[in-house]
Structure 1
Amino acid sequence: MRNLLPIITRRRLSHVCTLKPYKETRWLMPNGNPTGLYVYNCVAEEKVPIILNDPHIATWYSCGPTVYDSAHLGHASCYVKLDIIQRILKSFFNVKLVTAMGVTDIDDKIIRKGINTQTDYKTIAQQFEHEFWLDMASLNIEKPLIICRVSDHISSIETFVKHLIDSGTAYATKDGSVYFDTSKFPSYGKLLKTQESDEPKSQYKRNSMDFAVWKGHKPDEPYWETSWGKGRPGWHIECSAMVSKVFGSQLDFHAGGIDLRFPHHENEEAQSCAFHKTRQWANYWIHVGHLHVKGDVKMSKSLKNTISIPTLLESYSADTFRMACLMSNYRYPMEFNEQVMKMAEEVLNKFKFFLKDALMYVNNNATQNGDYKDKLLDNLQKVEDSNLEALRSDFDTADCINTLVGLISSTNKIIKSNTTEYYPVPVILIAEYIISVLNRFGLTLKDGTQQNDVSNILIDMLVDFRHTVRLNALNNKNKELLNACDIVRDKMKSMKVQINDSSKTASWVFTK
């Protein structure tokens, strides 16, 4: 393996990532193989190069759900965006991504819900975890290769905590709890420079910023016996212990919502570095911005403004929601409202209309021979290069979608023109490229409503008939017939069939 960056990569670093001294940023550039990709790093506070130990293999851990209740759209937007990034790494840049996700199935909220409903906490956890995976599947989110449930890893967590105690970086207290001693970790605060501890106050803590890695037993709560007393894991220690068991002392990507940056990820990094005696545990932290409703208000259960995933899918398709995610930057808040979703639906329909129009154009009954149209092929090559560059620079999917819409617009000028020229090869190559990109982003491009073949044939016949009537009405300037055609179009739209008129042909797509 080469430890030095190629000359071309070093040149890119000079303007993309002017790295500061370690004492200021506390981010260490990994040794290994440059991928040519760049990602925003919250420790360095800028885009940094993605460098992997193996040029084609990367490890990825996502903080998963605490399964005490149903998931909502705030969770969905986070996991859809992380799914998109994972797909980009795998399908555009050929990275073999080994993905793992933690599931917290033992927690204060789960225990409290079990007590309130007089249900065993294990039953609560199993019920909502099952529902979570169904919701993720309905959004076409790929399931992680490895699922780490806390209840399956208690022994590993106990061993992890014991090692911290033995090394002097954690201490046990009289109530059976164990706290991480932040004074023993000088780099504490590297992920977020200014913060306040959200840890409950305790008379046993040595420092206000110390956090629990093990919680002492309380009456009516489940517990495990350890050498320092009865209790159960703290939230932060779970991920560190499970990741270390699966991936060892070094992790490439660690992902989650922006609200996990502090204290959860900060504490994970501190205790993992202490455990492995290293200055850097996770090389790349990926944080997804909140989903907002009504301006700057984030969607959360505490604010009681959540929307369930099944409720979303009653009004919009999974593709439409994913398109809205693609059109936003994963690091920043995403607004959720009817206007945003309608815009996403319109963009998605533009792609569907174009793909149908391109197929009809290639298979028309023209008598002229086809040509290659170098300008179209040149435009396609520029778009391909531009999109790869956008994805290399912190996974800029919004720029890709805008570029694809521009490609459709320029190609439609050829498809829908009245010229006798005929360019089937470049048009079908453009259509194939668009399908490829959208599929690799995780869009299925399926119709929002399942229809049988007979229904499709009948709609084809109606749209073709209306198109013929409309062209005759335009030629004869028959306003009455044109109004009738508009009524048919609007009626079809109310039945979730959207018609796209042009001077040559008419096409249609299902909408949700």
Structure 2
Amino acid sequence: MNTLFTVSVRRISHVCTLKPYKETKWLMPYGNPTGIYVYNCVANQRVPVILSDPHIATWYSCGPTVYDSAHIGHASCYVKLDIIQRILKSFFNVNLVTAMGITDIDDKIIKRGLETNTHFTNIAKQYESEFWLDMNSLNIEKPLIITRVSEQIDCIASFVKKLIDSELAYVSKTGSVYFDTSKFPSYGKLSRMQDEGEPSDEEKKNKMDFAVWKGHKPGEPYWDVPWGSGRPGWHIECSAMVSKVFGSQLDFHAGGIDLRFPHHENEEAQSCAYHNSRQWANYWIHVGHLQVKGDTKMSKSLKNTISIPELLKTYSADTFRMACLTSNYRYSMEYTDAAMENAEEVLNKFKFFLKDAIVYINNNTATHPCQYKDSILKELQKVQDGNIEALKTDFDTATCINNMLNLISSTNKIIKNDSSGYYPVTVTLIVEYITGVLTKFGLKLQDGSQENIFSDMLIDTLVEFRHTVRLNALSKKDKELLNACDIVRDKMKSIKVQINDSNKTPSWVLIK
């Protein structure tokens, strides 16, 4: 194991002299290990996820600049982040406090307003509303906290003023304010970019300096501040809004890989400078591009985008999510008809299995049910354990999907072979597990108006079957069969279904 991780988890990120970025290391937070490892660009390797409270974490996602419709490149990013958030909440019992910033004042928004003779606020409201509708259509959970730049001007201006007062930022002759990267030696630790060469702008002192406030230009919206008039720079918005909501330390900060530089690099620099700390965000989550035609990025500038409503005319939200699940969130994902058809085929394998399994479980012609199929139950346990380890290893959902497909293949040999015996309990437990994992990943598993495949009726069937087997075992004093019934009861309780035994009518309730 890398020596970086052999230090005690009680190490604290004390403020001390900053080193040049080449020597800057990821600082292990003080707190409680979760058992999860996630890739961190500062360490350039996977690092342990450690939280101050083992069951509470803060998460900020960079939201859209609302000047146009979202496309499926945005969708792939937000679906993958939604999957990771669901994993943290559903598999690792982390109470995730999520926030997202909406950039509703920007050069592109102003330009769109001028082109259409529409006030910039109306442009922003129109496309933000459309964005949330698109996210809902993809079953992406809405952040608990939403911050908009236009509503946070005071806190942003206060943030900028502190940087100026601390001489970490300077006011140019046009009223713009620039962050002075020469005053922050660890600048570049996320992207490993160096401050070399002459400034590209005569207002800048250093080449890598960036605007935290833009001086007022005629015809543009502006706000009056102590050093003049203008509006926020792009990078400062997230830093100020996150600091207002979460304070001086953030657990997870997420966005597309294209935001790593300059946006996230600049956020980290100005936030560390503002809070006088060495590490602001403990974990950076960067999602790879959605690509078309090989290695071409999908983007509005290349005019190769597909809108989310257009996507959903051809493929379901579940199919698109399955494509995301079977890829690695950190790397580029190619969007082609072949790739989407493959994702649809994988999704259908699960759907067909679940339908066949329900028919099998409710087989009225089977009169002599067998006890457990030990080999399949052992495989189920192996898949359960393997999936948890995969999710702990940088949220490896692709391995989880493959593990469950292998489990389906083994179970189908029982379902489709009349001579192998009748194992409704074993198959029911597998159906329950697979359905539970897929729904926790955010799949709806619905066809039109069809209700969720695994319903109360299926639980009723299992409970009634177990009741019949248990009464028969009691009458014969069959200890082995009674023990099997107890195992079923305990398994069901572990998935929040409490079975209440009765000599007359069995019952069950959902428990917390």
Q: Same fold (TM over 0.5)?
A: yes
User: How far 1:202 moved relative to its partner?
Assistant: 2.6
User: How far 1:194 moved relative to its partner?
Assistant: 3.1
Q: Which residue of 2 aligns with 1:207?
A: 206
The answer to whether the 8 Å contact 1:26/1:187 transfers is no
User: 1:192-271 alignment to 2 at 5 Å?
Assistant: 192-194=191-193, 201-271=200-270
**Does 1:429 find its partner at 2:407?**
no
Alignment partner of 2:217: what SS? Answer: coil
Alignment partner of 2:98: what SS? Answer: strand
The answer to whether the 8 Å contact 2:254/2:286 transfers is yes
Alignment partner of 2:115: what SS? Answer: helix
Q: Which residue of 1 aligns with 2:146?
A: 147
Alignment partner of 1:409: what SS? Answer: helix
The answer to whether the 8 Å contact 1:9/1:36 transfers is no
Say if 1:125 and 1:196 are closer, same or farther in 2 by CA, change over 3 A: farther
User: How far 1:25 moved relative to its partner?
Assistant: 4.4
Alignment partner of 2:97: what SS? Answer: strand
Q: Which residue of 2 aligns with 1:393?
A: 393
Alignment partner of 2:418: what SS? Answer: coil
Q: Which residue of 2 aligns with 1:377?
A: 377
User: How far 1:422 moved relative to its partner?
Assistant: 1.1
Alignment partner of 1:429: what SS? Answer: helix
For residues 303 and 40 of structure 1, the distance between their equivalents in structure 2, rounded to whole angstroms, comes to: 30
The answer to whether the 8 Å contact 1:170/1:179 transfers is yes
For residues 342 and 195 of structure 1, the distance between their equivalents in structure 2, rounded to whole angstroms, comes to: 43
The answer to whether the 8 Å contact 1:195/1:262 transfers is no
Post-superposition CA distance 1:447-504 (Å, at most 9, x none): 1x4479xxxxxxxxxxxxxxxxxxxxxxxxxxxxxxxxxxxxxxxxxxxxxxxxxxxx
Q: Which residue of 2 aligns with 1:295?
A: 294
Say if 1:267 and 1:374 are closer, same or farther in 2 by CA, change over 3 A: same
Say if 1:6 and 1:183 are closer, same or farther in 2 by CA, change over 3 A: closer
For residues 92 and 25 of structure 1, the distance between their equivalents in structure 2, rounded to whole angstroms, comes to: 33
Amino acid corresponding to residue 267 of structure 1 in structure 2? N
The answer to whether the 8 Å contact 1:83/1:142 transfers is yes
Q: Which residue of 2 aligns with 1:173?
A: 172
For residues 105 and 8 of structure 2, the distance between their equivalents in structure 1, rounded to whole angstroms, comes to: 49
Amino acid corresponding to residue 400 of structure 1 in structure 2? C
Alignment partner of 1:44: what SS? Answer: coil
Q: Which residue of 1 aligns with 2:406?
A: 406
For residues 220 and 273 of structure 1, the distance between their equivalents in structure 2, rounded to whole angstroms, comes to: 34
For residues 149 and 26 of structure 1, the distance between their equivalents in structure 2, rounded to whole angstroms, comes to: 33
Amino acid corresponding to residue 408 of structure 1 in structure 2? I
Alignment partner of 1:133: what SS? Answer: helix
Post-superposition CA distance 1:21-77 (Å, at most 9, x none): 996342101110000000000000000000001111000000000000000000000
Alignment partner of 1:220: what SS? Answer: coil
For residues 239 and 318 of structure 1, the distance between their equivalents in structure 2, rounded to whole angstroms, comes to: 29
User: 1:267-286 alignment to 2 at 5 Å?
Assistant: 267-286=266-285
Q: Which residue of 1 aligns with 2:23?
A: 24
User: How far 1:299 moved relative to its partner?
Assistant: 0.3
The answer to whether the 8 Å contact 2:22/2:192 transfers is no
**Does 1:326 find its partner at 2:325?**
yes
Q: Which residue of 2 aligns with 1:458?
A: none
Q: Which residue of 1 aligns with 2:119?
A: 120
Q: Which residue of 2 aligns with 1:15?
A: none
For residues 320 and 213 of structure 1, the distance between their equivalents in structure 2, rounded to whole angstroms, comes to: 41
Q: Which residue of 1 aligns with 2:416?
A: 416
For residues 451 and 353 of structure 1, the distance between their equivalents in structure 2, rounded to whole angstroms, comes to: 14
For residues 159 and 8 of structure 1, the distance between their equivalents in structure 2, rounded to whole angstroms, comes to: 37
User: How far 1:373 moved relative to its partner?
Assistant: 1.3
Post-superposition CA distance 1:87-125 (Å, at most 9, x none): 000000000000000000000000011011110000000
For residues 35 and 176 of structure 1, the distance between their equivalents in structure 2, rounded to whole angstroms, comes to: 47
User: How far 1:367 moved relative to its partner?
Assistant: 1.6
Say if 1:196 and 1:329 are closer, same or farther in 2 by CA, change over 3 A: farther
**Does 1:36 find its partner at 2:26?**
no
Say if 1:366 and 1:9 are closer, same or farther in 2 by CA, change over 3 A: farther
Q: Which residue of 1 aligns with 2:360?
A: 361
Alignment partner of 2:141: what SS? Answer: coil
Q: Which residue of 1 aligns with 2:510?
A: none
Amino acid corresponding to residue 184 of structure 1 in structure 2? K
The answer to whether the 8 Å contact 1:22/1:28 transfers is no
User: How far 1:173 moved relative to its partner?
Assistant: 1.3
Which contiguous aligned blocks of 4+ residues in structure 1 show a shift greater than 4 angstroms? 5-10
Say if 1:253 and 1:315 are closer, same or farther in 2 by CA, change over 3 A: same
TM (normalized to structure 2)?
0.83
The answer to whether the 8 Å contact 2:320/2:343 transfers is yes
For residues 43 and 357 of structure 1, the distance between their equivalents in structure 2, rounded to whole angstroms, comes to: 48
The answer to whether the 8 Å contact 2:147/2:241 transfers is yes
User: How far 1:420 moved relative to its partner?
Assistant: 5.1
For residues 73 and 297 of structure 1, the distance between their equivalents in structure 2, rounded to whole angstroms, comes to: 14
Amino acid corresponding to residue 375 of structure 1 in structure 2? S
For residues 132 and 441 of structure 2, the distance between their equivalents in structure 1, rounded to whole angstroms, comes to: 20
User: How far 1:229 moved relative to its partner?
Assistant: 0.3
Q: Which residue of 2 aligns with 1:137?
A: 136
Say if 1:22 and 1:108 are closer, same or farther in 2 by CA, change over 3 A: closer
Amino acid corresponding to residue 414 of structure 2 in structure 1? I
For residues 46 and 76 of structure 1, the distance between their equivalents in structure 2, rounded to whole angstroms, comes to: 26
Alignment partner of 1:256: what SS? Answer: strand
